[in-house]
Amino acid sequence: MVALTLVNRPNKRRQTPEQVSELTTNRLSVYLRCLNRLDADGVHTISSRALAEQFHLNAAQIRKDLAYFGEFGVRGVGYYVTDLRQHLRQILGLDRRLRVAIMGAGNLGLALADYPGFRQEGFEIAAMFDAADGKIGHVSRGGVPIHDIKALKKVAKRDRLDIAVIAVPAPHAQAVVDQVVAAGIKAILNFSPGALKVPAEVKLKGVDLTVSLESLSFYLAQGADAV
Amino acid sequence: MVALTLVNRPNKRRQTPEQVSELTTNRLSVYLRCLNRLDADGVHTISSRALAEQFHLNAAQIRKDLAYFGEFGVRGVGYYVTDLRQHLRQILGLDRRLRVAIMGAGNLGLALADYPGFRQEGFEIAAMFDAADGKIGHVSRGGVPIHDIKALKKVAKRDRLDIAVIAVPAPHAQAVVDQVVAAGIKAILNFSPGALKVPAEVKLKGVDLTVSLESLSFYLAQGADAV
DNA sequence: TTTTGTGAACTAGTTCACAGCT
DNA sequence: AGCTGTGAACTAGTTCACAAAA
């Protein structure tokens, strides 16, 4: 506790996230998960080396990633776990509650709605949307209400939805994304296969299950057979 | 048809997939999806430029990606759609049926089992595994049988399972992966959060939903607020 | 002419190595 | 002593630009 306040140096003129690559932000998220566990385990300090050994990463990489945002470490000691954890939560915007909407109440959408990984770390699945009469008005097993997609604009404003997850069949994906954008949502996680168009100010991140599987298939076809 | 046979030059001494990066194989998968659509639409030839415009990619990138595996194009013309499609299917190992097992018959596992994106392009969800008595012996909505995880080794051999998808809660993931590896499965798609250890000859690919969401959160916290 | 295939140039990302702080 | 923060060196990935082919 005594030392923690010493470490809070907001740092020069960084906080310039234009230059921070997505690879870095993904790693920050991984570091945070690790720090959460260390914190829960009562570990007080951790060096970049020790952190690097957990995943197979280079220690300098970790120091560089963190250095984009400030000088959080103490030379000769390492990083204070609770302190760094708080900083990462703040950098990643997890110090506030983020409201997530799931577009599409099919198998995948319903599974995601109740997926525990989504609920942790400040995310709240606030609403689902579908076009099928049979689904509208119901709730997911975990209690997430399913709205008519026509009400998206209204509900997005009322519930202050931050992020939309696209879990509709591929042929509908672009139309749904257009509605999400029109509703003013600025961040989208897309599970449907294929490229989607969004305006520059909207962040689109894709999870393409087909690409992932085919990449494994490539390994089996080329790599494993050759060995 | 006449021209197609001319183009099949298996090429020098390439087919050296050690050097091919994962970024390249992921793109091959994207190209293939596009070619499938072009083929269905009756388009006969496509240039690297036209292909590049579909996604926002550089044409030279596409030519380089393809050049790792052969000279599939025709100067002044482009690529024959059906021909290139067949080559990509072969390169990605999709010219044979690949059997996929899903570990964990929870919400996510069941959703993935019936997810249409998994079924296309030669993938077959052949089996699911769980440890809960209430699930073993049942089938998914789409008819995939749920086996006892204790039977993994036997079923993997019998059904010649190629790929395992990890959809169990995080605390069980490593133990399940160890069993998957012991059963001789050489390719794993992991949906559970956190790093998993596998031997070098096993290919592990992760889809980390928490990391994806937190990356969007970062954008909202840093990017959008600044604009 | 058009468009491929590819070396060369460039850009981004990672790792090294060490000065400087504790 | 130990460990961070960071310029310099290196490696990987992308784009340019053009000779060669159809």
Residue in this structure with the two tokens 């019936």, named with its chain if needed: B114
Q: Is A74 exposed, middle or buried (0-12, 13-18, 19+ CB in 10 A)?
A: middle
pLDDT at position B133 is 96
Percent of chain A predicted with pLDDT > 90: 83
B24 touches chain A (CB under 8 A): no
Q: Left (φ > 0), alpha (ψ -120 to 50) or beta: where does A121 sit? A: left
Question: How far is C-alpha B209 from the geometric centre of its chain's CA atoms?
Answer: 17
Chain B from 100 to 129: CB within 8 A of any A CB:
100, 107-108, 110-112, 114-118, 120-123
* Rg of chain A (C-alpha set): 21
On the question of pLDDT at A227 being above 80, the answer is no
Judge: B29–A210 Cβ closer than 8 Å, yes or no: yes
- Which backbone phi and psi does A184 adopt, to 5 degrees? 90, 10
Work out if B71's Cβ lies within 7 angstroms of strand C: yes
pLDDT (tens digit, 0 to 9) for every residue of chain B, 227 residues total?
323 233 333 444 344 446 799 999 999 999 999 999 999 999 999 999 999 999 889 999 999 999 999 999 999 999 999 999 999 999 999 999 999 999 999 999 999 999 888 777 889 999 999 999 999 999 999 999 999 999 999 999 999 999 999 999 999 999 999 999 999 999 999 999 988 999 999 999 999 999 999 999 999 998 755 44
Q: Which nucleotide lies at the shortest CA–C1' distance from A60? A: C15
A62 touches chain B (CB under 8 A): no
Judge: B30–A213 Cβ closer than 8 Å, yes or no: no
For A40-79, the pLDDT digits (tens) are 999 999 999 999 999 889 999 999 999 999 999 999 999 9
Q: State the CB neighbour count (10 A cutoff) for residue A151.
A: 14
User: Which residue did the predictor score with more confidence, A163 or A54?
Assistant: A163
Please give the average per-residue pLDDT across A96-110, as a whole number: 96
Q: Which nucleotide lies at the shortest CA–C1' distance from B72? A: C4
Residues in chain B within 8 Å Cβ distance of A32: 214
Strand C bases near protein CB (under 7 Å) are: 1-7, 12-17, 20-22
d(Cα B135, Cα B128) in Å, to the nearest integer? 10
Q: Is A112 exposed, middle or buried (0-12, 13-18, 19+ CB in 10 A)?
A: buried
On the question of pLDDT at A5 being above 70, the answer is no
B66 touches chain A (CB under 8 A): no
Judge: B227–A32 Cβ closer than 8 Å, yes or no: no
For residue B215, give the nearest of A85, A196, A17, A29 by alpha carbon.
A29
Question: What are the CA-CA distances from residue A201 to residues A57, A103, B227 (Å)?
Answer: 32, 20, 9
For B202, which residue in chain A has the nearest alpha carbon?
Answer: A224
**CB nearest to B223's CB, from A17, A91, A211:** A17
What does pLDDT average to over chain A?
Answer: 90
On the question of pLDDT at A204 being above 70, the answer is yes
How close A173 gets to chain B, by Cα (Å)?
Answer: 13
CA angle at A222 for the pair A218 and B1, rounded to the nearest 5°? 75
Please give the average per-residue pLDDT across A3-8, as a whole number: 32
Judge: B209–A121 Cβ closer than 8 Å, yes or no: no
On the question of pLDDT at A131 being above 50, the answer is yes
CA angle at B191 for the pair B185 and B192, rounded to the nearest 5°? 100
How close B3 gets to chain A, by Cα (Å)?
Answer: 27
State the DSSP code for B94: -
pLDDT at position A13 is 39
Q: How far is the CA of B23 from the C1' of C11 (A)?
A: 16
User: Which domains does chain B show, CATH number per domain?
Assistant: 9-91 (1.10.10.10), 98-211 (3.40.50.720)
For residue B35, give the nearest of B76, B89, B77 by alpha carbon.
B89
Give the type of residue at A84: L
CA angle at B189 for the pair A168 and A110, rounded to the nearest 5°? 30
Q: Which residue spans within chain B are E strands per DSSP?
A: 45-46, 73-74, 78-80, 98-103, 123-130, 146-148, 163-166, 187-190, 203-206
On the question of pLDDT at A3 being above 80, the answer is no
User: Which residue did the predictor score with more confidence, A158 or B115?
Assistant: A158
Residues in chain B within 8 Å Cβ distance of A20: 222
> What tokens were used for A16?
């310039």
pLDDT at position A118 is 79
Q: Which nucleotide lies at the shortest CA–C1' distance from B52? A: D15
Work out if A86's Cβ lies within 7 angstroms of strand C: no
How close A189 gets to chain B, by Cα (Å)?
Answer: 7
For residue B191, give the nearest of B208, B203, B204 by alpha carbon.
B208
pLDDT at position A198 is 95
pLDDT at position B149 is 98
pLDDT at position A224 is 58
How close A209 gets to chain B, by Cα (Å)?
Answer: 7
pLDDT at position B216 is 97
Q: Is the CB of residue A171 less than 8 Å from the CB of residue A192? A: no
Residue nearest to nucleotide C16 (CA to C1'): A60
Distance in angstroms between the alpha carbons of the first and the last residue of chain B: 54
